Amino acid sequence: MNILFVADPLESFKIYKDTTFSMMREAQRRGHRISVCEPVGMSWKAGARVTAQVRHITLTGHAEAWFSADAARPDGRVTLADFDAVVMRKDPPFDSEYFYSTHLLEQAEREGAAVFNKPRALRDHPEKLAIMEFSQFIGPTLVTRDAEEIKRFHAEHKDIILKPLDGMGGMGIFRVKDDGLNLGSIIETLNKEGAQSVMVQKFLPEIVLGDKRVLVIGGKPVPYSLARIPQGSEVRGNLAAGGLGVAQPLSKRDLEIAEAVGPVLAARGLLLAGVDVIGDCVTEINVTSPTCFQEIFDQTGFDVAAMFINALEQAVAAR
């Protein structure tokens, strides 16, 4: 297959842990050809098809200078529908430009492109709001702009987490305990005087055991999660916030969640999703560019990238 990865600049990759890199490596190992573009390189001219300024690359196998240009295929502008698969791997934030990129990708779908994850599904599943559909698996949660409603939630649950709906990597997350210290100031910071919605959740003390990333590929769970364990006095387990990643077999509850949520997401065009679980509760469903492939492989030997490329090949063959 000819596979196009829509991603951040290649020069920004940390290949020792980058999930998109692990996908590329496995795809190349199987003989697939790799191309990349950035969202900024996509364009759609009236009356024409969606194209992108594309780099055709070969992975070198070296830590430094880890890719080189494919001499047989000069870089240039290519129609997205000419690829066998387009894999959307642009990292958040899910801002207006990401939103517009999904519309260009959806047009490419209408022209015949096979895009994973499906652009409409990316728009329809905001990573924090998506959990609300699966209320049987979440803890007490509120989404609101109303400061007084947040205060009432705190009065009921005493120890809470507040976070912006568009945050990533643990940014903008606050914990307020029973004393309510700085609650008013935190609400003002997050809801911008009622202009922005905030997610508020009951604090889950099981976070000390890790914020588990449960990966679901083609509707099926990867048998290991990566528990992101907060360090020191930090409440956030996110790797970007300094959390320690520890791979572990799925618990009975993890498996129950993944087997219920996974097929629903897959049926909507989400080939890959990362379900975040603290204790027994789902806290987020990541669909933009879920990670942790390499950490799980390095610690357990389970080849998550191979499972993903298997699912990608099957999805393309089924079209």
Residues assigned a catalytic role: 128, 163, 213, 228, 236, 276, 284, 286
**Nearest to 44, CA basis, from 6, 22, 77:** 77
Which residues are paired to 247 by β-bridges?
226
* Rounded distance between C-alpha atoms, residue 82 and residue 103, angstroms: 18
Burial class (CB in 10 A: 0-12, 13-18, 19+), 107: middle
Burial class (CB in 10 A: 0-12, 13-18, 19+), 147: middle
* Rounded distance between C-alpha atoms, residue 179 and residue 171, angstroms: 23
Amino acid at 248: Q
Give yes or no for a contact between 253 and 280, defined as CB atoms under 8 angstroms apart: yes
CB-based burial, 160-190: b 16+ in 10 Å, e otherwise: bbbbbbbbbebebbbebeeeeeebeebbeeb
* Rounded distance between C-alpha atoms, residue 243 and residue 277, angstroms: 15
Helix (H, G, I), strand (E, B) or coil at 126: coil
* Rounded distance between C-alpha atoms, residue 3 and residue 305, angstroms: 15
